[in-house]
Chains A and B, each alone.
Chain A
Amino acid sequence: MLTAFAIFSDGLVYAAYLFLVAVGLTLIFGVMKILNVTHGSFYAFGAYGAATAAGVWYDRGLNDAGGLLFMVGLAMLIGLIIGIILERGILRFVYGRDEVVVVLVTYAVFLILEDVIVLIWGPRSYTAYQPMTAAGSIDIGDLTLSNYDIGLVVLAAALAACCYWALKYTRYGRLLTVVIFDRETAAAFGVNVRVLYTVTFIIGAMLGALGGAVMAPKMSITLGIGVEVIVLAFAVVAIGGMGSIEGALIGAVLVGLARAAAVHLVPQLELFVIYAVMALVLSFRPYGLFSQVQPRKI
């Protein structure tokens, strides 16, 4: 029973993490049909930015809650700046090229940004544990849960609800839904697709940076954190159906629970289980759980 509860709680926390990193990726893919490998860089920049912010803030002994806000704020600002530079500076020149070619462009940018991180922050690793320790923990039965983890789950749920609301009930969200469904028809009806692309990419970048910022207190921020994230996020997004936000949510929960179960029951399978879930889902639903039906064009 205790194990079951531990699996459930760990799984939810991991799912929250996965959703936070996958949502920006799936949004950009849904709207722009770009599989954005640079998402890993956004995440890494977010985490490094948060670590810097934490250093500045807590060295002055300022209060804890503000520190977390400052970290997230700085990270998202960095996401905003890189997002604008990438979209305006590089990506807009390759719109309309083969999808795979665009992936390679983002891969190239990812490689460049990996070294930019080294140039800015150097090869040493950083920590930003202060918000995590400040949040404390809570005992439920025999299990100790960190309040910060609970906060992560709440944040992920809030973000999911927010995305749902924005897509369903705001003007911008309705326009996005139209573009996701059929870009050409939307453009023919006078939707300014280019502007939507720019805005979406920037939002996606900021979401990636947010993911890095809120995860920063939970990990050692070191080189190569972006690499891991992009592969994980892709697995989640592929399970849910590329471009689908509710799919990313379901995918994150599925993978989160599966991984937590593996960690508690058969630890050797930890890395393996994520892709096993993916392979299993894709053998039955080749384009993910919430995929759109693609018409064959002759």
Chain B
Amino acid sequence: MTMRPTILGALAFVAVGLIAPWLPPWLVSLATIAFANALVVLGLIILWRTGLVPFGQALFYAIGAYAVALLGRYTPVRDVFVVVLAGAVAAGIVAFLIGFLLARYREIFFAMLSLAMSMILYGVLVKTETLGSTDGFHVEAGSFLGWRPQGATRNLALFWLVLAFSAAAAWLVARYFRSVAGSLTHPIRDNEIRVEFLGISVDRLIHLKLVVSGILAGIGGALAALAVQHVDPQMAYWTTSGGFVFVTILAGAGSVAAAFVGSLLFELVRSIAVTLVPGEWQMILGTALLLTILFLPEGLGSLVSRLRQKRKTAP
């Protein structure tokens, strides 16, 4: 019974990977970005379950992306697996360091301080001429263990890469939620002091969550940088973080799958809205966010569990 979601998830990832070559190329590119962002959302869900809303997750996203870009620019390292891992490590280290400050805060302070942190990076990136200032710079195409595909093949290979990372991350995060540290998320949210009385350091747990979510965001950013082949300071801007928070609310923090489905939906709706009503995108975003918070506080994912609940209680 407990294995079922894992198997279903694995089957879903394999199925998506298998049909990818027959999908239209724009959908593959869109899904690549969507799943890369879903990794960031996954990190947000980890914090969200504790009652923390990081409004500056773009910090780690941008660090992951810039790590890839810088490796391509200043070193001969081109292998996608290596550069993505480098992005993850860089973001993890930064998360670990600022965790000492951030892990002491909760609620609004946590949200706004993480925002301030990402704005520091944004400020630094904008002012750094050698990194292209506001324009950013180009990211090298990279190679897959020596293989250098071009054009549509590259997009497909990249999509598979993102899928592989997503599947691994989804599996690990699902395992994390079942571990002791993961099971303590809701108790921390409900009553932190009681958790401390159990002999557990809440600050250290939150620090750990920060590092995990930072690493996930770093991987997401690195993959996005490879997909777009360009990085710019906008990646660290707070509206980018706002987008991640938005997807998290919309999808709900109920399950790992919600991150992926929500992120994909978000990118789809965005690309449709931007072509149809280019001026009103933020208004749509805001209205959807408002309606979700007011009427569906647990996110769209809760609709699924509500249905399931109904079926169970029905005779």
Contacts and interface: CB of A to CB of B under 8 A. Distances in A.
Interface residues of A, number: 45
A138 interface: no
Interface stretch (A54-62, A176-184, A281-289): A281-289
Nearest to A296: B193
A276 interface: yes
A268 interface: yes
A111 B282 contact: yes
B135 interface: no
30 contacts: A93-B294, A100-B53, A100-B108, A104-B53, A104-B249, A104-B289, A105-B290, A105-B294, A107-B245, A107-B286, A107-B289, A108-B285, A108-B286, A108-B290, A111-B283, A111-B286, A113-B286, A115-B283, A227-B238, A234-B112, A234-B116, A268-B127, A270-B123, A270-B127, A271-B120, A271-B123, A271-B127, A275-B119, A286-B104, A298-B191
A122 to B, nearest CB: 10
A115 B280 contact: yes
Interface in B65-118: 101, 104-105, 107-109, 111-113, 115-117
Contact of A231 (B116, B124, B127, B193): B116
A94 B109 CA distance: 19
Contact of A272 (B112, B127, B238, B294): B127
A43 B205 CA distance: 39
Contacts of A107: 242, 245, 286, 289
Interface in A101-132: 101, 103-105, 107-116, 118-119
A256 to B, nearest CB: 17
A101 B112 CA distance: 13
Interface of B: 51, 53, 101, 104-105, 107-109, 111-113, 115-117, 119-120, 122-124, 126-127, 191, 193-194, 238-239, 242, 245, 249, 279-283, 285-287, 289-290, 293-294, 297
Given A100-B107, A100-B108, A231-B238, A275 B116 contact: yes
Interface in A60-119: 90, 93-94, 98-101, 103-105, 107-116, 118-119
Contacts of B193: 296-298
A107 B194 CA distance: 32
Interface string A254-278: 0000000000000011111001101
Nearest to A238: B112
B120 A110 contact: no
B113 A104 contact: no
A113 B119 CA distance: 22
Contact of B283 (A112, A242, A268): A112
A115 B115 contact: no
Contacts of A105: 290, 293-294
A110 B283 CA distance: 9
A112 B290 contact: yes
B101 A282 contact: yes
Given A105-B290, A112-B287, A286-B105, A118 B51 contact: no
> Interface centre among A108, A114, A278, by most B CB within 10 Å?
A108
Contacts of B191: 298
A88 B283 CA distance: 20
> Interface centre among B111, B242, B285, B286, by most A CB within 10 Å?
B286
Contacts of B105: 286
B109 to A, nearest CB: 7
Given A231-B238, A234-B112, A275-B116, A104 B127 contact: no
A279 interface: yes
B243 to A, nearest CB: 10
Nearest to B122: A271
A109 B242 CA distance: 13
A295 to B, nearest CB: 11
Given A231-B115, A238-B113, A98 B289 contact: no
A170 to B, nearest CB: 28
Given A109-B286, A112-B290, A272 B124 contact: yes
B282 A114 contact: yes
A39 to B, nearest CB: 12
B294 A271 contact: no
A234 B148 CA distance: 47
A100 B106 CA distance: 10
Given A100-B111, A268-B127, A116 B290 contact: no
B188 to A, nearest CB: 14
